[in-house]
Copies of this chain bind each other. A is one copy, B any other.
Amino acid sequence: MDLKSYLNEKREIIEASLKNYFPEPQGPAADVIKAMNYSLFAGGKRLRPILCMAGAEAVGGDEKDVIPVACALELIHTYSLIHDDLPVMDNDDMRRGKPTSHKVFGEAVAVLAGDGLLTEAFHLMTETVLTDRLDSLTLLNVMGMIATAAGYGGMVGGQVVDIQMEGKEVDADIVEFIHRRKTGALITASVRAGAFLGGGNEHQVNAITSYGKNIGLAFQISDDILDVEGDSRRMGKNVGGDARKKKITYPAVLGLGRSKEIQEKTIKEAIESLEPFDQKADPLRHIAQYIIERKR
């Protein structure tokens, strides 16, 4: 299969759904809607929604069923970027080649735009069309699972430790703790949500979860590596920022060589997790490979 066409095709579906769903800025509160739109349509890869769709496909589900949840995952991801970029957090000025939200709209509106996106994500999930294939109980379970992944035991918890550990000496356990929560949890939830909503059985969902955990960790390691070896222009942000800010990264804690070994091992394990699946899981297999090879 041609992964690039696959990613483009799915991304277009997500872009159209997000645009269709999202309101035109109007009324006295237009600025916060503008800020939500600004970050949401800033050229993201839409990896989480695509993983959700590919997860459904792998278990033989219908991708149409998962689109609201897939879009909601992108809203959650976008909210987390806006808040992470704030001066009181990572203090980043550029993201995806554009000034960050607080640089354009001010910090107050940026905080509220993040809050609005996170809230809207859950609203959007409740708008999932229920069918004979997809019942409301499954949807509620998936929503609970996504909230857990985004909350203090997942993304929020990872981010707080990430910030608190800046500049400190940490061991491999802590960098793994951070990466598995800060980035890994929502990536795992994305592909897992797809498998659940697509009607996967327990065995299939477990296999997909294992895949998700592995690529989630590998993805953050590749982010770390790109910050050392990547090209600023292609990345749309300055590289080398992690080292300047003394961030906790795999290369910083374990060195570049060992980081690449771990990344390769986790990708290998991700692909092995998919053994029970037929060619319908090929997109997931190719996405795993892409995570090692990506340049942005």
Contacts and interface: CB of A to CB of B under 8 A. Distances in A.
Nearest to A157: B29
Contact of A158 (B29, B150, B174): B29
How many copies of this chain are found per oligomer?
2
A119 B147 contact: yes
A294 interface: no
A107 interface: yes
Given A32-B152, A119-B151, A151-B116, A144 B160 contact: no
A161 interface: yes
Interface in A76-131: 79, 83, 86, 88-89, 106-109, 111-112, 114-116, 118-120, 122-123, 126-127, 130
A215 to B, nearest CB: 23
Contact of A126 (B88, B143, B157, B164): B143
Contacts of A156: 29, 32, 112, 115-116, 119
Interface residues of A, number: 55
Nearest to A178: B28
A221 interface: no
Contact of A112 (B109, B119, B160): B160
Contacts of A153: 29
Interface stretch (A42-50, A134-142, A223-231, A271-279): A134-142
A115 B154 CA distance: 12
Interface of A: 23, 27-29, 31-33, 36, 79, 83, 86, 88-89, 106-109, 111-112, 114-116, 118-120, 122-123, 126-127, 130, 135-137, 139-141, 143-144, 147-148, 150-153, 156-161, 163-164, 174, 177, 181
